[in-house]
């Protein structure tokens, strides 16, 4: 069941579905790469994709969201993504939420969300997404657990 403060648009949902397909492919084919995929949309058009490159680049900051933000900004020639959307297969971590806010992204849409995820995806397990929203109500709207059933095999804790 989708939760959050906004409803995803059709284009955001389609981009997220594409990201899930790509992440599932990475999980199947590239065992050294974390299967997490993000995209940036402006006016319902995808302008950049990003895969998690942490182990590819040996850089702990190369989360899929950071890669996508970086590419989108390079593409547009500006550090501002004011009003843009980000879709991502996994709930953004604290670092990525900071970068999302710094970039001006207005909408955050993700598939797998806490709780129920494997350990290690979040640097501050006691800090909830809702607290970021409370800390800046003008910041961003979010929709989470979108198509979550399609990604829990990738990120969920195994039952039992
Ligand atoms: Zn992150």
Ligand 1 center from residue 44 Cα (angstroms)? 23
Residue-range definition of the domain harbouring residue 46: 3-155
Using one digit for the tens of pLDDT, what is the confidence trace for 5-39? 999 999 999 999 999 999 999 999 977 789 999 99
Domain annotation covers residue 72: yes
Which alpha helices (DSSP H) does the chain contain, by range?
10-29, 54-57, 64-76, 94-103, 129-135, 152-155
Using one digit for the tens of pLDDT, what is the confidence trace for 36-68? 999 999 999 999 999 999 999 999 999 999 999
Domain annotation covers residue 160: no
Using one digit for the tens of pLDDT, what is the confidence trace for 87-137? 999 999 999 999 999 999 999 999 999 999 999 999 998 999 999 999 999
Domain annotation covers residue 144: yes
What's the CA gap between 144 and 8, in Å, rounded? 9
Domain annotation covers residue 126: yes
pTM equals 0.96
Domain annotation covers residue 102: yes
Domain annotation covers residue 29: yes
Ligand 1 center from residue 67 Cα (angstroms)? 10
Ligand 1 center from residue 115 Cα (angstroms)? 16
pLDDT of residue 159: 60
CATH for 148? 3.40.140.10
Ligand 1 center from residue 45 Cα (angstroms)? 22
> Residue 26's CB: how many other CB atoms inside 10 A?
20
Number of domains in the chain: 1
The residues placing their C-beta within 5 Å of ligand 1, an ion, are: 63, 93, 96
Give the active site residues: 65
Domain annotation covers residue 82: yes
């Amino acid at each position: 069941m989708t939760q959050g403060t906004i409803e995803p648009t059709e284009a955001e949902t389609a981009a997220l579905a594409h990201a899930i397909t790509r992440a599932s492919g990475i999980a199947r084919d590239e065992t050294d790469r974390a299967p997490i995929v993000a995209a940036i949309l402006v006016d319902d058009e995808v302008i950049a994709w990003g895969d998690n490159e942490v182990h590819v680049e040996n850089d702990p900051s190369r989360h899929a969201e950071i890669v996508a933000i970086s590419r989108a900004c390079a593409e547009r020639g500006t550090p501002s993504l004011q009003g843009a959307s980000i879709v991502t297969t996994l709930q953004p971590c604290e670092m990525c939420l900071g970068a999302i806010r710094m970039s001006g992204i207005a909408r955050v849409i993700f598939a797998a969300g806490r709780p129920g995820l494997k350990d290690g995806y979040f640097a501050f397990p006691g800090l909830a997404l809702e607290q970021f929203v409370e800390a800046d109500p003008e910041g961003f709207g979010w929709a989470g657990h979108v198509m979550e059933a399609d990604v829990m095999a990738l990120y969920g804790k195994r039952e039992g």
